[in-house]
Structures are given as structure tokens and as C-alpha cells.
Amino acid sequence: MPHVLIIVQNLPVPLDRRVWLECQALVQAGYRVSVICPKGPGDPGYAEIDGVRIHKYSPPPKARGLVGYALEFGYCWIRTNLLARRIWRRDRFDAVQACNPPDTYWALARRYLRFGVRFVYDQHDLNPEVFRSRFGEPAGLAGRLQYRLLLWLERRSYATARQVIATNESYRRVALSRGRKRPEDVTVVRSGPDTSVMRPIDGNPALRNGRDHLAVWLGIMGPQDGVDLVLRALEVLVHRMGREDLQVALLGFGDCYDELVATTARLGLTPYVTFTGRADPKLIAEYLSSADLAFSPDPLNPLNDVSTMNKTMEYMSYAVPVVAFDLAETRVSAGEAACYVEPNDVDKYAKAVAGLLDDPDRRVQMAVAARRRAETELDWAPQRRRYVGVYDRIFAVPGRLERGRWPRVERREPPAATGTTLTDRWGRRLVDLRDPDQLLRFVRTRRIGGTDAPANLDAGAG
């Protein structure tokens, strides 16, 4: 089977959940897979995990300003190019998949096109929209030149790509219009969660830090992600509404981490906020299983309105209700599992959080709807088929999808027998999702078998 080289710059693998699911899907379908990405803390330069060969380079210093970003992109491109040459000498690859940002790896892929290598553009972000969201509409000569450069790089990525993978229909429309791609050359592969793995466990009350409720945020702390709005909403809840019953956990890291820690102290919120830093799957499962609600505070801007937020779907996998600003693609993902707030209004966001905390019946209904939607509408399984189908078409793999010849993957569903305890790989009790009553009991208290349920929970929760 063909050898696929996947390039990702903004996160290490397997920490990048979408890319890791793609790698696993290709391996399960019989493809050989190599990855080039930056190192995370303590990562080795090379590792083979579950059949995926991962080559890593030391990350660049944190970028600041235009010159800093240019140096970062140049450094990463050169390191990636050197590793690609090393992989090519040892085991020639047949396709290069570049996961943006940035939109620079088409230039690397072109070096191999003459050898019959195919380029697949996996567009995770719309970089021109990232620019507009961070810096506003381009004004002045420098701003307009930077914006035009981003558009040019994006066009080169589209033009070089044999196939484009879009994360949602909004991105697909951009590929068809701005990218001038043919409809048959653009495939939507949503970043769906693997709900057989991302599933609730027995909650840990200690994470509430002695308070009645726990709310969580999960992701990469970038300037366009709205984590600062969580802190501003918490300031309203604590200092203006007098609520001291909520502990907020911020799971993740990123360019804004230190700034957010400082802001928390400046607002007098340090006792109410837990910063976990880099969160692995074990920690994510523990916090999301213990949370009463979750934050999707992405503000309205040209990027966020058309982007699918992975964290929202991950919350839903763990049956966590969501408070979100009312963005187009967030509604597509969350449906009835979210409480929607007028975009960018911190006061209304805080009131929505307070209202949901004070309405346990609604939280239960939203939690059950969240898990069901994650399983039936958002799960990775159908996305996996679409993703591998891209490569099957490129390499003319005969009839895998049409004839149903798809490799069986163990879903790790709980046993049907009652009284059987199911555990995750760390030995923690899993919610038996085949038992609707157990799921209901769990979302009432975030504990398996909890009995201290509020009144009237059965109404509308089924």
C-alpha cells in the first residue's frame, strides 16, 4: 500500500487529536504513515506509535510580531524539509498531506511532484480570516501586503493540491469559490470525536476545589480563542453577582498562557481558576467527566463564525452542556446541547452561565442531548470513511467503500450484562452507555450511581 507523509506544524502528534485520528484511519486501512511535527515537552526525536512513524524537531522560540512569525515559519519549513528528505531516502512516500496553518508546505510538496507524489491539502484554518480576526480589516500598505501574501499562499496550496480536505461546509465553499477547486476535488471531513474512546467516567468531586460547581475550557490558548472572555465572565459572576460556588478549570496551553495567568491574578480570581497546562487524554477525561458545564467562548469574527470548534464536540462526548456565543458553525455542531449567547457580550454570557448552573433540570436535558448527538451525528467513524476515501480515490484502491470492505475496528462498547463494571485503560469506572438510566443518573451528579438528584429530572430528559 502507498506511503503517506503527513506534515503538521502547530501541534505535536499524537496530541493533535484530528491528525492522530487521520493517522490511525490510514494505518487501519493498510496505508503506511509517517508524520513530521514539532516536539512537545519531553518528546523524543523519533517514535513509532501504533504503526505510525513520527519524526519530530525542536520547536522554534515563541514568535512575536511579523518578523518573529516569518522566522518561525522559515525555521519549521527548513526542519520539515530536512526530515522529509531523510524519510524519502529511507522509504519513498507517495503522498504529502499538509495540515495548515501555515500555507507554506505546498512549496515542499512541489519538490516531489515530478516523482508522482500527490499533494493533499488538509485545511484546518482559513489563514486570511485568521489575519482579519487578529488584526482587523487590512489597513495601510503593510497590512494589505500581508493579507495579499496570505491569499497568494492559500491559492498556491489549492492549486498544488490533488485533493482538498475541508473541516466543514463553510470551508468547502471557500475552496470552491476562492480556491476555484472542482466539487469532486474537495471532501468535507469533520473533526468528529471518537465517542468509543471519549466517553464519561466516574467524576472526581475534588476537582471542584470545595465549590458546588465545576466549569471547564479546553484547547490551545491563542488570541482568537476567547479564553480571556471566560475570565471576564467569571469576574462578573464572582465580583458583581456575588457567586462563589463555581470553580473554573482551563485545560491547555498556548501563546496566551502566561498572559491569562496574570489576568486571573489581576482580576482577583486566582482562587477560582485552575490552570492545568498541557492536558493529556487521562486528565481531559477526568475534568470533562466532572464538569457541570463547559465554555465555548470563541468570539464572533471572520474566522470563528465559519470554523468548527473541536472542543465543543469533545465536551459533548462527555455529556457536558455548553455555553457558547451564537456562531454559525457552532450551531451546526452543538444543536440543542448548547445555550447560545449574543456574540461577544460578556455580561450576557455570565448570566447564561448563572442561569444554567441554577437550572439542573435543563443541564440534564442538554447533557443527554450532547452525548446522543456526539454519538449519532458527530462521531469520527463516518468521517474516517470519507477521509480514507480521499486516498482510495487518489490511488485507485479498488472498491473498498462500495463493497463494504472496511476494516473492523473495535468500538469498546460496554457489555450488555447488568452489574458488570467497565473501566477505561487507567482503571477508572466508565458510564455504561447501553443503560439509559445510568447515563441519566450520571449527568445528575457527575458520579456513577449517584443518588442526590434534583427534582423533576425525568421530564423531558429521555
Q: What's the total number of domains in the chain?
A: 2
SS3 label, residue 171? helix
Give the sheet arrangement for strand 213-220, strand by strand.
273-277, 246-253, 213-220, 293-296, 322-325, 338-341
At residue 165, the pLDDT reads 98
Task: Kindly report, residue by residue over 319-347, the tens digit of the pLDDT.
Answer: 999 999 999 999 999 999 999 999 999 99
Same domain (yes/no): 129, 219: no
Task: Identify whether residues 101 and 175 lie together within a single domain.
Answer: yes
**pLDDT score of 412:** 46
Contact 143, 164 (CB under 8 A): no
Contact between 281 and 203 (Cβ < 8 Å)? no
The pLDDT of 78-96, averaged and rounded, is: 97
Range of the domain at 303: 205-375
- Characterize the bridge pairing of strands 46-49 and 52-57: antiparallel
Q: Identify whether residues 371 and 383 lie together within a single domain.
A: no
Nearest partner of 28 among 405, 412, 378, 425, judged by Cα: 405
Q: How far apart are CA 170 and CA 186, in angstroms?
A: 12
CATH of the domain at 243: 3.40.50.2000
φ, ψ dihedrals at 420, nearest 5°: -90, 130
pLDDT (average), residues 428-450: 88
Q: What distance in Å separates the CA atoms of residue 351 and residue 326, rounded to the nearest whole number? A: 15
- Asked which of 343, 375, 407 is the last residue of a domain, the reply is 375
Domain boundary among 362, 394, 426: 394
Q: Using one digit for the tens of pLDDT, what is the confidence trace for 206-237?
A: 999 999 999 999 998 988 789 999 999 999 99
Q: What is the pLDDT of residue 453?
A: 41
pLDDT > 90: percent of the chain: 78
273 plus 144 within the same structural domain: no
Residue 450 binned pLDDT confidence (cut-offs 50, 70, 90): low
In a domain, 279, yes or no: yes
146: left (phi over 0), alpha (psi -120 to 50) or beta: alpha
On whether residue 410 sits in a domain, the answer given is no
Which whole number is the average pLDDT over 438-444?
A: 92
In whole numbers, what is the pLDDT of the chain averaged over residues? 90
Q: What angle do CA 451, 454, 458 make, to 5 degrees?
A: 90
| 28 C-beta neighbours (distance < 10 Å), count | 16
As a whole number of angstroms, the distance between CA 338 and CA 218 comes to 16
In a domain, 407, yes or no: no
Tell me the average pLDDT across 350-376. 96
Chain-centroid distance of CA 321 in Å reads 17
Q: Are residues 181 and 220 in the same domain?
A: no
Which residues are CB-contacts of 345 (< 8 A; sequence separation ≥ 6)? none
pLDDT at 419: 55
252 assigned to some structural domain: yes
pLDDT tens by residue, 4-41: 999 999 889 998 989 999 999 999 999 999 999 999 88
Encoded amino acid at 315, one letter: Y
